[in-house]
Structure formats: structure tokens, C-alpha cells
Chains A and B, each alone.
Chain A
């Protein structure tokens, strides 16, 4: 810390900027009062800092004083090499792809394009497919059928053959119940 009886240059710089530790600051202050050379050194540093501060308003646009100050402080503490760590991150340029990789990618593109041509999207075809729900006349009733399961409305209590009426999406059977005499109308729907 001390070179001979004098504080080091870095301690004097930190002292002049007020960044030195408490005990070191007391010791350096005591020394500067009695040492003309170090006192001159501190005064010159103070005048340099004052000059820099007075010119800080005229710094070019984009210069961040706080960042610069932090970098300088780090330089002082750790040296120039370590101070680079607070500077901008260096981006490594991407390595150029070799011709083999390009060939592989081209081949894969051709394969994918051929696969798409052979198996085009099936959205439209699905839209045109028939409903899986089937409605039909069944023995003794009308039926709605889906995935092998079925619901049948029976008209076996009818006096006569039922009259069937159909519309797209529905099938109707109407008959007169032989017990109640009521005309009953059964419907099954597919949509």
C-alpha cells in the first residue's frame, strides 16, 4: 500500500475521489498534511476531477457517465484487464456453415416438399365427409346410430304401419298408439 513512507498512487487517487476506506483515509490525510509532494499530487487529481466534472455537461451524446465512472473505478481497483469485464460484451461472429451442412439441409427440404405434395392437407376433405351419425329405419322403429351404438325409438304399439316423413338431417315415424289412441310422432336427428 505504501511505497516507502508515501501512499501509493492508487491510494492517493481513491483518496482524492473520496473512495478510500475509513482507516486508510485517516492515515493518508495525516500523511498529505505533512508531505508536500503527496499534497501536490492530490491537488492535481482534485483539479483534474473538477475539470472533468465541469465538462461532463459537454460530453457527446450516448456517453454514460455512471458507466464510465464505474469502469474507471474498476480499473483503479483491479487494473485494466479486469475493468474490461464491465465493458460491452464481445459478440463472436457466427461461423460460416460448411457446404456439407448446406447439402444436408437442401436434401431435407426436398424430402419434406415431396412428402407435402404426396400428402396434402386434409382439412377440406374432412369438411366434406359424412357425419358419423346415421339415421335409418330399423325393424320396429327408427334409429340413430353412432360408432356401433344405437338408439331406436320403437313404434311397435301402432295400429297400422307408420307413416314415415323425412327431411335432410331427420327421420320421422308417426303412428296411432293402439292402447291410448294418441297419434305419436317419433323423430331421430343426425344434426
Chain B
């Protein structure tokens, strides 16, 4: 073998080694929980984590399954972990939440975190990913944690929706029987598959520009039967896929002061196709029986998940949650049609799909 051939083989070997190599996730991922945390880490399975070179960058696949223990005295319903990678994206952050948990005191439960990092080859020596506890929600809706990501509000809404949906499905089973429950599951699965690919993304535009085809349209408000906040019609200026300065007239119909509301948007394009845009939290202090005009000096941009803009023909708003000043929440009941299935409905339908009706009924009885 000539020296040149040996050199080529050596180069190929080095390249293959550099392309993919196992990494020690313990040094790449750092998990920190507060000392008085009601949740402790029992074990961590790091799975098939590896690193590979991509041109001038390094791609790291980190997969972990954490086994956590409820070391408190209350039943845990939800948990949110704060994920940050300061060396990779200094300003960006992420979180992983698990809703609809049912972990009693002393019980263990798993959380899986699968993430990918793309970073320059030059790097520091510290851990790449920091995982902290952002919050834990208990069955009495009390909360523990720093709540940096406002996870308390999200987890409380998820838990209230979960109670509502479980109650509804239990009622269907008791009043109309197993076949009716099966029908509900199938209808929900169909609704979810219809929704797939129909979601609209809403983003806040940096600056608004006037264009010739700007027009003002009326916004219809979808009333929920038990809503503590009533809204009459509003106005919004539309230009292509942008909605500017939405204005809604809202009124607190209860005797309790309101701190914030969360609005969802239904956007219809020129071809009549309806998209459900994400909900937008709005801090609006409303005294009992107070009415006000909700004006947002912002521009929202709606696009499909693949980035294609949605030419807006019509818009409707709906109330997805209300937060009172005492910390309690309101979510719509199931009498009206819900544009988006709750996380619990998603979980129960997935359970039915994988393990059948008996498993679903057993699961409903657990709560």
C-alpha cells in the first residue's frame, strides 16, 4: 500500500469518526431543581444521544427520559420544565410541559425530552442545555415554581379543560352508553385529522405599513353560553394576510374583577377555508360589570404552517379563557362547539385509538 493510499484511508477514517460520535449527555445536559422542590429526579436514561458534524457546524441529538418522583404531599396534575441553551441561542428559550398527570405522593412518573442543537464547532466547556423547573400544578390547582414562562396560567387552563372533558365523556358513558362514547371518540379523531394542517400561525409584525388594498371589516364574536365576559362586534383593518389594530367591545358580566382574557381567532380565506389561529393573551383589567373597548395597537400576521400567507376574507373571535384577579380561571364549557380539542381530549382519543374502549373507560374511572 502506497503512502498516498494510506493517507486517503486515514483521512476517510477520521472523517467518518468526526461525522458521528457518541457524546456524554451528562456533560451536555444539566438538570437543576430547587432544594424545596416537590419533584425530585430519580434517574435519567440518556438513550441514543449523539453528535455529528454538518459542514462548519455541530449537530447534537439529545434524548433523555427522566424519571421524576412526587416527593410532596399533594397529587401532581402538571409540570413544566424550562429548557435553555445559552451558548447556542442566548436569547431563545423553550419549555417542555406534561399535562393531565395523575401522580400521587411518592409515585414516579416519566418525562421525555428530545431535542436537537445546531451550533458552531467552536464551543465552550460548560453544559449545552440547562433544564430547570418552571412550575408544578397540584390537584387543588395550587402551584409551585418560579413561573418564569407564565406556566401557571397555561397549566391551570389545561387542567380545567381536562376536568371538563373527562366529566363530559363520563356523562356520555353513563347517560348514552358505550357506543355513544365510541362515537364521540371517532368524531373527535375526525375533527383532529381535519385540523391537521389547517392551523394558522399568528405573529406580531414588527411594523405596519399602509397598502392600497387595506379595508376595514367587522369581527363577529362567538359567544360561549357561560362566558363571564361578553363581547359585541368589533372592527379590524385587513390587508392581505395582516390584521391591524383589532378593536372589540367587551363587558364583564360577573361580580368578580377580571385580570386577563385569552382570545382565539378564526380566519377565513378568500376560498372559504377556515383556519384556527392561536389564542392571544390580553391583559385587560375589568371591574365587575365594567364595559370597555379593547384596542390593540398591533399588527397580526396569519400564515399556514408551511409559511404560505392566508389572504384574510373574514375573521371571528372567540374567548378561550378568562383569568380573574383572585387567580381562578374560566374555560368554555362543551355546550358550544370548541374550535380546538383540549390536550386531555387529545390524550383520551389517542388512548382509545391505541388500546380501545375498555382502556378508555378504565382511564376515565381513575380520575
CA distance A175 to B206 in the complex (A): 30
B203 lies within 8 A of A168 (CB): yes
Query: In A47-88, which residues have CB < 8 Å from any B CB?
Result: none
Name A137's closest neighbour in chain B (CB-CB).
B305
Of the candidates A129, A133, A160, the one having the most CB atoms from chain B within 10 angstroms of its own CB is A160
B92 lies within 8 A of A145 (CB): yes
B96 lies within 8 A of A130 (CB): no
CA distance A7 to B204 in the complex (A): 101
Contacts of B149 in A (CB 8 A): 187, 189
B192 lies within 8 A of A166 (CB): no
Asked if B97 lies at the interface with its beta carbon under 8 angstroms from chain A, I say yes
Asked if A148 lies at the interface with its beta carbon under 8 angstroms from chain B, I say yes
Asked if A14 lies at the interface with its beta carbon under 8 angstroms from chain B, I say no
A163 lies within 8 A of B346 (CB): yes
Choose among A145, A148, A174, A182 the residue that contacts B101 (Cβ–Cβ < 8 A). Answer: A182
Q: How large is the interface on A (under 10, 10 to 19, 20 to 34, 35 or more residues)?
A: 35 or more
CA distance A184 to B327 in the complex (A): 24
CA distance A39 to B192 in the complex (A): 128
Asked if A106 lies at the interface with its beta carbon under 8 angstroms from chain B, I say no
Choose among B98, B116, B300 the residue that contacts A154 (Cβ–Cβ < 8 A). Answer: B116
CA distance A166 to B158 in the complex (A): 16
Contacts of B115 in A (CB 8 A): 141, 151-154
CA distance A163 to B90 in the complex (A): 27
The 8 closest A-B CB pairs, nearest first, are: A168-B204, A144-B92, A166-B278, A176-B350, A154-B114, A146-B89, A183-B347, A152-B116
Q: Which B residues are closer than 8 A to A by beta carbons? A: 57, 83, 85, 88-101, 110-120, 129, 149, 154, 158, 192-193, 195-197, 199-204, 206-207, 277-281, 298, 300, 305, 340-341, 343-344, 346-347, 350-351, 353-354
Q: Which A residues are closer than 8 A to B by beta carbons? A: 128-133, 135, 137, 141, 144-157, 159-161, 163-169, 171-172, 174-190
